[in-house]
Structure 1
Amino acid sequence: MQISVKKYTLALKHTFSISRESHDFQNSLIVGISLHGKTGYGEATSNPYYQITVESMIAEITAIQNEIESFDFATPEVFHQFLVEKGLTNFAICALDLAAHDLHGKLQDKPLHTLWGTDISTYPTTNYTIGIASIEKMVDKMKETPWPIYKIKLGTNDDVAIVRELRKHTNAIFRIDANCAWTAEETIHNAPLLKDLGVEFLEQPLKADDWSGMEQVMHHSVLPVIADESCIVETDVEKCGLHFNGINIKLTKCGGLTPALRMIKKGKEMGLKIMVGCMTESTVGISAIAQLLPQLDYVDMDGAMLLKEDIANGVVIKNNGEVLFPSISGSGVTLN
């Protein structure tokens, strides 16, 4: 196998703000794995919350590049286990795992969703994310991109008032993501008010380790609650099942498609709603997420839609939320 790594700085259409940070650019690592004339592509973004940079991921990968390139590639699952044993971070593993899955599908000449035996005739519609900003700017973003489902980022002193104002401008479904900014008391108080404003569920309202608070929320919230920062890796799924109604799986955080597939299976066995979310990736990462669509209840895969300019071709999301799957195999990714 041959490995290539490259850093991209992705410019965003608008400043993107959540409860703990704001940014205008997203640094991202693109990995290529080539074998037998085919190349698979994977992606992982930098993330200050988890202290991950593109440079740190590149250092991890290049440190064992010779071992990776001499690895006898058969399946993504075996390759993933090899990477875990080498002690790479989940972010670096994700980029390599996504590339391995894309490569595997291209070598088999089948899309991943076909290899997994799933049917893409029905799938959930992605939400479109509205970051924290002035109400005027948030409304402008909705008008710029009319969409059937919005994820609203909150974590201010006037969260319910913001949603009440946004509701005046659209009939779309709202999903609320407080990114750990609320207390249990705030969540329980806000939930009925938000439900009346057409909110479907709350995502990660409390700090990731506030399990006692989440137990209160589970017993008293009138809205379902989905885990995000509390559900990072496979071992988190079981604990989340006792404190949340569903889980939001991020490929970069869990280490790629290989563990995500196992997390989906475990979550479904526990009766949890299953969501997969993105990290403002390009179409490389979004196309990998799209392969999972038939297995999901909810999806947040608008990352490439938030960019000024994309770096790849693959899955296309139309203005009505319809997903156009690529004609090529694997994740269907080619770099521009």
Structure 2
Amino acid sequence: MELILKAYDLKLKHTFTISRKSIDVQPCVIVTLIDGEFSGFGEASSNPYYNITVPMMIADLEKIRPIIETSGTETPEGFWAKIYPYLKDNLFALCALDNAYNDLYARKKGKKLYELWNYTTENNPLTDYTIGIAPIEKMVAKMEELPWPIYKIKLGTEEDIAIVKTLRQHSNAIFRIDANCGWGVDETIQNSIALKKLGVEFLEQPLKADDWEGHKEVYKHSALPIIADESCIKEEDVAKCYHHFHGVNIKLAKCGGLTPGRRMIQEAKRLGLRTMAGCMTESTVGISAIAQLLPELDYVDMDGPLLLSEDIARGVTMEFGKINYANGSGTGVELL
């Protein structure tokens, strides 16, 4: 099995701002695994919040190139368990590798990845489209540029309720709010009351990730469901979110790929938590992997390619929130 690593800089259509940063370009690494006539693809983006860079991911994968390239007969679960000890401190790199291996494995079986898992797609959720923090006229312009059934609105300013009131005047779509750890306990509870009246579906990660007492207070008193993101990184975090959140947003890059992501979904369902998968700013490579999980999700945020000025791959496509799977086996990704 051959390993190919390539770095890309994904250029965004617009400056993308959340409560803690703004970006115009998103660096990422694409992992390609080749076994005979078959190729599998995986992606992970750099992320300063988690101290992950593209050179770091490439260096960590290069260190275990011999182990990777002498593998290929294992199941994805067996491969992940074999590689995890070497990449346990860089789950972003492990995600790109695991997703590529899952893709390759399904292609060798001649099936789409979700078919290999015996998932059915009749009730797949729609994806939202993210509106980053910007002057209100620019946020309105972004909504009008791409009419969509569900918008995920980034907040964490001093004018959050006023922003949503203004956006509501321009759209009847479902709104979801992501404060990216930018609020306090009382602020969240009060905002939840006002935002529920404005047609908001849920709040994502309003408090800092480690404020577990605050999360518990918000969980008890919020008028809206609360979904964990930064508080739910690894598999063991799902159980910690029970009675602190109403659901969990699973990011494949943070947990180490599709293999642990599927286990996290099952644990969340066992605990009665709502299930969501989210994307980083990433290309169709990463998004096509997330799409394989849709049948198991209540919500999904996989709009990464819609934010790019130019994509680097073909795969799943999105049309007014609906995900259309690519032709072919695995995740259906083809690099451009």
User: TM-score of the superposition, structure 2-length normalised?
Assistant: 0.99
CA shift, 1:25, in A, is 0.5
| Structure 1 CA distance for aligned equivalents of residues 125 and 135 of structure 2 | 29
- CA gap of 1:221–1:241, structure 2 versus 1, over 3 A, is same
Residue 46 of structure 2: aligned partner: 46
Residue 211 of structure 1: aligned partner: 212
CA shift, 1:72, in A, is 4.3
- Equivalence map 1:2-17=2 (5 Å): 2-17=2-17
Residue 302 of structure 2: aligned partner: 301
Question: What is the one-letter code of the residue matched to 1:326?
Answer: A
SS in structure 2 at match of 1:264: helix
| Structure 2 CA distance for aligned equivalents of residues 323 and 226 of structure 1 | 22
| Structure 1 CA distance for aligned equivalents of residues 65 and 218 of structure 2 | 46
CA shift, 1:241, in A, is 1.2
| Structure 2 CA distance for aligned equivalents of residues 211 and 261 of structure 1 | 25
User: Does residue 75 of structure 2 align to residue 75 of structure 1?
Assistant: yes
Question: What is the one-letter code of the residue matched to 1:171?
Answer: N
- Equivalence map 1:280-291=2 (5 Å): 280-291=281-292
Name which of structure 1's ranges 177-186 and 61-70 shifts more when overlaid on structure 2: 61-70
1:274-319 residue CA offsets vs partner (Å, 9 max, x unmatched): 000000110000000001001100000000110001000110111x
Identity over the aligned pairs, expressed in percent? 59
Residue 228 of structure 1: aligned partner: 229
SS in structure 2 at match of 1:180: coil
Question: Cα RMSD between the aligned structures?
Answer: 0.8
| Structure 1 CA distance for aligned equivalents of residues 92 and 51 of structure 2 | 10
SS in structure 1 at match of 2:194: helix
Residue 156 of structure 2: aligned partner: 155
| Structure 2 CA distance for aligned equivalents of residues 173 and 327 of structure 1 | 30
Residue 274 of structure 1: aligned partner: 275
| Structure 2 CA distance for aligned equivalents of residues 133 and 54 of structure 1 | 27
| Structure 2 CA distance for aligned equivalents of residues 47 and 150 of structure 1 | 23
User: Does residue 59 of structure 2 align to residue 59 of structure 1?
Assistant: yes
Question: What is the one-letter code of the residue matched to 1:179?
Answer: N
Residue 182 of structure 2: aligned partner: 181
| Structure 2 CA distance for aligned equivalents of residues 76 and 54 of structure 1 | 24
SS in structure 1 at match of 2:87: coil
CA shift, 1:13, in A, is 0.4
User: Does residue 322 of structure 2 align to residue 326 of structure 1?
Assistant: no
CA shift, 1:173, in A, is 0.5
CA shift, 1:322, in A, is 2.1
Question: What is the one-letter code of the residue matched to 2:200?
Answer: V
User: TM-score of the superposition, structure 1-length normalised?
Assistant: 0.99
Question: What is the number of residues matched between the two proteins?
Answer: 335
| Structure 1 CA distance for aligned equivalents of residues 177 and 164 of structure 2 | 9
Residue 18 of structure 1: aligned partner: 18
Question: What is the one-letter code of the residue matched to 2:37?
Answer: G
Question: What is the one-letter code of the residue matched to 1:246?
Answer: G
| Structure 2 CA distance for aligned equivalents of residues 224 and 323 of structure 1 | 25
| Structure 2 CA distance for aligned equivalents of residues 326 and 175 of structure 1 | 27
User: Does residue 238 of structure 2 align to residue 237 of structure 1?
Assistant: yes
SS in structure 2 at match of 1:126: coil
| Structure 2 CA distance for aligned equivalents of residues 207 and 14 of structure 1 | 26
| Structure 2 CA distance for aligned equivalents of residues 36 and 85 of structure 1 | 27
SS in structure 2 at match of 1:49: helix
User: Does residue 168 of structure 2 align to residue 167 of structure 1?
Assistant: yes
1:120-167 residue CA offsets vs partner (Å, 9 max, x unmatched): 122100000000000000000000010010000000011011101110
Residue 123 of structure 1: aligned partner: 124
CA shift, 1:70, in A, is 1.1
C-alpha contact (below 8 Å) 2:127/2:323 kept by paired residues: no
Residue 34 of structure 1: aligned partner: 34
Residue 261 of structure 1: aligned partner: 262
| Structure 2 CA distance for aligned equivalents of residues 86 and 301 of structure 1 | 29
CA shift, 1:37, in A, is 1.4
Name which of structure 1's ranges 109-118 and 81-90 shifts more when overlaid on structure 2: 81-90
Question: What is the one-letter code of the residue matched to 1:220?
Answer: H
Name which of structure 1's ranges 59-68 and 254-263 shifts more when overlaid on structure 2: 59-68
Question: What is the one-letter code of the residue matched to 1:152?
Answer: I
1:237-279 residue CA offsets vs partner (Å, 9 max, x unmatched): 0010120000000000000000000000000000000000000
1:60-92 residue CA offsets vs partner (Å, 9 max, x unmatched): 001111121012432111111111122341000
Flag structure 2 segments of 5+ consecutive residues without an equivalent: none
SS in structure 2 at match of 1:86: helix
SS in structure 1 at match of 2:224: coil
